[in-house]
Amino acid sequence: MQTEALLHAPEAATQPTLVVDRLKAYYTTKAFGIDRDIRAVDDISLTVAKGEIYGVAGESSSGKTSLIKTIVGAIRPPLHVVDGTVRFNFSGQSYDIYDMKPDKLQAIRWRHLSYIMQGSMNVLNPVRRIKHSFYDFAFAHMGLDRATFWDKVRDHLRRLDLDPGVLDSYPHQLSGGMRQRTTIALATVCTPEFIVADEPTTALDVIVQRDVLAMLRDIQRDLGSSFLFVTHDMSVHATVSDRVGIVYAGRLVEEADTPTLFRGARHPYTQHLVASLPKIGDTTRRASLPGRPPSLADPPSGCRFHPRCPLAMDICSREVPTMTNLTPRHRVACFAVTGATP
Amino acid sequence: MSLILDIDHVSKTFLQGGLLSRRSVEAVKDISLQIEAERPEILSVVGESGSGKSTLAAMVLGQQLPTRGRVMFDGIDVASIRSSAARRAFMAKVQPVLQNPFEAFNPLKRVDRYLFATAANFMMAKGKPSRQEIEERVDRALVEVGLTLAEVRGRFPHELSGGQLQRTAIARALIPDPRLLVADEPVSMVDASLRMSIVNLFGALRDRLGLSIIYITHDLATAYYISDRIIIMKKGEVVERGNARAVLDNPQHPYSIDLKNAVLTPDFA
Ligand SMILES: Nc1ncnc2c1ncn2[C@@H]1O[C@H](COP(=O)(O)OP(=O)(O)OP(=O)(O)O)[C@@H](O)[C@H]1O
Ligand SMILES: Nc1ncnc2c1ncn2[C@@H]1O[C@H](COP(=O)(O)OP(=O)(O)OP(=O)(O)O)[C@@H](O)[C@H]1O
Ligand code: SF4
Ligand SMILES: [Mg+2]
Ligand SMILES: [Mg+2]
């Protein structure tokens, strides 16, 4: 299978750890006997190299969580894959997430892949102390004796600025940020090869956030793990992501190395996103994007950004711009940038 | 000078841990804070994760009772509110917006039902509202946050994105025409653009409706941008307070300085 994405994989020599190819995943709901598709993931291709930190940003409700869930195979109806493939390469073995038995997928999840969900406090059992969650979740997979296991868990919690005393607490006894760090600890204590995280640091103060990001980076560096993560916080991307992909209305519209994306964004939506960031010391009024987010049940024709785009031309409402390489590592889908040839 | 909110030497202690490892956590230590009725403002509360911000908010909302000290709202000790009528009158004036929108809504209940119930509940004081009046009130609140009833109707919480759900939660809080909003990290789940539209909305609510807002956040940039005053918390205590811009431009306490220095800047230039 030769894909557009594969051709410019960051490490052409080695296989990317993740190859997402023309992925489409819709929520199909029935209303009054009529099927309605919410096209949350609509023709997305991307790759993540071994040891790479790939960041995903985009508008609220643009489909980032849906994309992430589809990539890790954590979807259930009404969300389903309509087209495309998701392929992981772990230790020379290739795994097609949507072409294998559920129990095999489970095994891979445990061994190689770790997924931190958005608002993921609910992985913690509310009626049991935190230590039980760690035991149930991680003990069997780490092959350590009990004493070593708990030492390791406590060390890991400290790296996340958590007092190991949280092990004796119930989830509701922890602050929001403490719970968020606990779920990160759960997901990373086994030091997985591929970490997928959806808004992992949104509930943290900036000092703790810095430490948590440093921990994730350490894991990534020490083990050469890959890291795919979603956050709204562009300054987090600026600090940790090697590459950033921007999603708008279910589609990837721009992707580049982080410095390029911040200094030389070409898609009008990305430019808006970068320009809208407030800063301390700056009180000039920031406008938000005009118009409203598009409905994914009935997205605008052509380029989905056209109703809100300052540069929109005739062609933009008729044809869909495809992701086109400006440089080997900078792709953008916009007629104003690539010329009006669809 | 009358006070809409008077937090008077308030402390809160929790017990945690198992039988053998029981320990007490001083979540809030002797905090005092006032908001004047005639001077609506946005008061930002920032600081360390686990420093007691949400606990302070819960005490203002009457959801937790102080271990020491008292919280007065509009001249009434919040701890003394007992009857359901008094409770409802209080809740109409002080509304929460929660940290995690996924936790704010019952996953098995349609979001619009929740909004209608809120509207019906608070409109009841002026006589039983009609279905149409309820829907109009809900739609008006949703439009204020950039949504419409048509978009939310019939949807379950999981059918909305985090950002949509959070805007819905703010709309719900606006339904009873409150005097004080207690917003616990209301923008942490939304993108930068929407984030600005929500804090701009807070500014407009303050200026237009004379609403005061306690804005708990980890985002110092929006606190700087929108708030009048700020308090910075660490380990249950207020370590620094004052005019938001003065404090953030020139923080004095070592923790405040660390906090400001840890802010990531998106600048590559
Ligand atoms: N179970 C569901 N059924 C129907 N529609 C859904 C469901 N879950 C999500 N959606 C819709 O799919 C779209 C994409 O949602 P998604 O959660 O992927 O967005 P997101 O980019 O992660 O947003 P946010 O930044 O707010 O978390 C939204 O319009 C949302 O309302
Ligand atoms: N119901 C409870 N029972 C026991 N301890 C609690 C309870 N609620 C909060 N705590 C403890 O009180 C302290 C303060 O928690 P709080 O939620 O107020 O922090 P916060 O400043 O809001 O933090 P974050 O920024 O992470 O949300 C924490 O140590 C927490 O473990
Ligand atoms: S393709 Fe057209 S509408 Fe879309 S972003 Fe480019 S100029 Fe704007
Ligand atoms: Mg999401
Ligand atoms: Mg909190």
Q: Flag the least confident range among A85-94, A119-128, A285-294, B72-81.
A: A285-294
pLDDT band of residue A6 (cuts 50, 70, 90) is: very low
CB distance B160 to B111 below 8 Å:
yes
- Which residues of chain B neighbour A164 with C-beta distances below 8 Å? none
pLDDT band of residue B102 (cuts 50, 70, 90) is: low
Domain boundaries along the sequence of chain B: 3-262
- HSE-CB at B56 with a 13 A cutoff on CA atoms is 34
Nearest CA in chain A to B263: A206
Which phi and psi angles does A23 have, rounded to 5°? -75, 130
- Which residues of chain B neighbour A60 with C-beta distances below 8 Å? 161-164, 189-191, 194
| Distance in angstroms (rounded) separating the CA atoms of residues A292 and B183 | 24
Given a cut of 90, whether residue B39 has pLDDT beyond it is yes
Please identify which residue in the block is written with the tokens 């004081």.
Answer: B125
* Confidence (pLDDT) at A5: 43
CB distance A112 to A152 below 8 Å:
no
pLDDT in tens, B202-227: 998 899 889 999 999 999 999 999 99
pLDDT in tens, A178-206: 998 999 999 889 888 999 999 998 889 99
ipTM of the complex: 0.85
| Distance in angstroms (rounded) separating the CA atoms of residues A283 and A214 | 30
Given a cut of 50, whether residue A1 has pLDDT beyond it is no
**Mutation site, B161, B196, B258, interface A, largest A CB count within 10 A:** B161
| Distance in angstroms (rounded) separating the CA atoms of residues A220 and A224 | 5
Q: Which residues pair with A58 in a beta bridge?
A: A247
Query: Of A83-87, A122-126, A236-240, B209-213, which one has max mean pLDDT?
Result: A83-87
* Confidence (pLDDT) at B103: 67
Nearest CA in chain B to A199: B189
Name the CATH superfamily for A4-112+192-277+288-338.
Answer: P-loop containing nucleotide triphosphate hydrolases (3.40.50.300)
- Higher-pLDDT residue of B27, A339: B27
The pair of three-digit structure tokens given for residue A89, joined into one six-digit string: 């390469």
Q: Between B161, B225, B265, which is nearest A283 by CB?
A: B225
Instruction: From A307, A181, A174, A333, select the one nearest A251 (Cα to Cα).
Output: A333
Given a cut of 80, whether residue B258 has pLDDT beyond it is yes
Report, in this order, helix, strand and coil percent for chain A, each rounded to 5. 35, 25, 40
The residues lining ligand 1, judged by C-beta closer than 6 Å to any ligand atom, are: A 27, 29, 38, 40, 58, 60-66, 78, 118, 296; B 158-164
CB atoms within 10 A of CB A221: 11
- Which residues of chain A neighbour B101 with C-beta distances below 8 Å? 119
pLDDT in tens, A255-281: 999 999 999 999 999 998 888 777 777
Please identify which residue in the block is written with the tokens 């990531």.
Answer: B264
| Distance in angstroms (rounded) separating the CA atoms of residues B115 and A148 | 50
pLDDT in tens, A128-164: 999 999 998 888 888 899 999 999 999 999 988 899 9
CB distance A231 to A247 below 8 Å:
no
Please identify which residue in the block is written with the tokens 């701890």.
Answer: B79
Query: Of A99-108, A250-259, B83-92, which one has max mean pLDDT?
Result: A250-259
**Mutation site, B22, B49, B51, interface A, largest A CB count within 10 A:** B49
Q: Read off the pLDDT of each residue in B138-142 and give the average, rounded to a whole number.
A: 93
Instruction: From A50, A57, A157, select the one nearest B163 (Cα to Cα).
Output: A57
Tell me which architecture the domain covering B3-262 has in CATH. Answer: 3-Layer(aba) Sandwich (3.40)
Q: Which residues pair with A255 in a beta bridge?
A: A245, A331
